[in-house]
A and B are shown apart, each in its own frame.
Chain A
C-alpha cells in the first residue's frame, strides 16, 4: 500500500508478544498465585491488542491511561477469582475492554451534555488526524476513484451497494442477478488494482525522492 513505507500507527506502537499461543489456564493460575512474571506475561500478550481495540473505538487521547486501567481491571478480576473458566481468558478480556469503551462513551456523553447545549454536535472520538494522515487518506480515495471511474456503470453500482450502502453479498447478488463467484471476482479485481496502483505510486514517489537526493548531493 501507498503508506506502508513510512506510516507509523500509534495504535500498534508496542513490542511483540513473546508467546503466540499460551496456555491460558496456566497463566491465570500464575496470576492468582501472585506471580509477578505472570502479570508481565499477561501484559505482554494482551496490551497490544487492548491498545489496538481502544484506539479504534476511542481514539488516541489518553490511550496509555485507558490501556493501563483496562489491564488493572483484568488482573484484579483474575485475582478475585471472577474468571471461572480460565481457558476463556480471551473472551473475558474482550468483555472487559468493551465495557470500558461503553463506560468511556457514557462519561463523555454525560459530560458534554452538562457543558454544551443539547443539540450541539457530540463527537465522542477525537481521532486527531494530522495533515499527513489526511493527505494519505486523500491519496487512497483518489486511487479508488481512479479504479471506479474506469469500470462500467453496473460494476460501479455493485461496489457502491457493497461499500457505500453496506448491502450484503447475498442481497446484491439477488438484486443484481449475480453469482457469488462473479461478485467475489469483481471485488477482488478492484482491490488488486487498488494495491497495484498504490505500489506503483509508492515506487514512483520513492524514485522521485531518491533522484532529488542525488541531484542535491551533486549540486
Chain B
C-alpha cells in the first residue's frame, strides 16, 4: 500500500493533487461530476473585495497544446463568497483542503479580503494572486520587488493561516521574487501562473480575445513550469506548489521530483474532469511500480 499523503503548512493533505484557481469555480461546480472531497484540495476562483463581471468576450480560445484565456477575474466578490460559497466548502469538504485565491489592485484590496474571511470556517489558507496577466495592474505586485515585499508583510501581519503566493513566470529571475516572499513571512509559493500571449484572427484582422491579450496555459507551458518550480524549490525552504500543464500522474511526478510538495491541475480539467482523480490513482501506480512506500519521499528527489 502506497501512502500518498503529505504534510504541508502543518496539516495533512490526503494526496498532493489540487485543482488550480480559475479552473474549478468554487468547488461545487464539479460536485456532480467528480468526488471533490477525494482530492488533495482545491484553490478557489480569485476573490476580490467587490464583485467583478470580467472581460468582454471572446474570453477563451485553443492554442497549440493549450489555451489562451482572459477572464478578467470575474467573481462574486468578498461578501457573496463568504455568504454563499464558503458554506458549501465547509459543509461538503471534510478531507480536501481549500485555499482561497485572493486578488486585488492595492495592498488594501488584498487586506480587505483576508481580513473579511479570516474568522470564517471552510478553508485552510490563502493563495495570493500577484500574477494575473489579464487585468490592468494584475501582475504589478508579482513583478515589483518592493510592492511584493510590502504586500506579503501586510498580509502576514493580519493572518496566521497559511499564506501562499502565486508567482508569475514573467520576470527575469523568479528566484528573486521567491526570496522576497520567504523573507517577508509567506508560508509557500505556487509556481506558475500563465504566460501572456496573443492570437489573431487573420480574416477579421482582429485579436481573437476580447481583451486583446490573454494568459497561455496547458501542456505547452509544462516544461517552463517545471523549470520555475525547480528553480524556486532549490532556492527557498518554503513548500512549493507546482502548476502548469499537468495532464496526468507522470506530469505531476515531474513537478514533485523538481521540488513541488503539492501540485495543481488546471487547464487539463477542462479537457477531462476526471484528470484529477486519475492523476491521484496514477501517482499511486507509479509509486507501486517504483517500490516507493511514501510519495512524499520523492519531493525534490531529482538527481542532478
The reply to whether chain A is a binding partner of chain B is no
A contact set with B: CB distance below 8 Å:
none
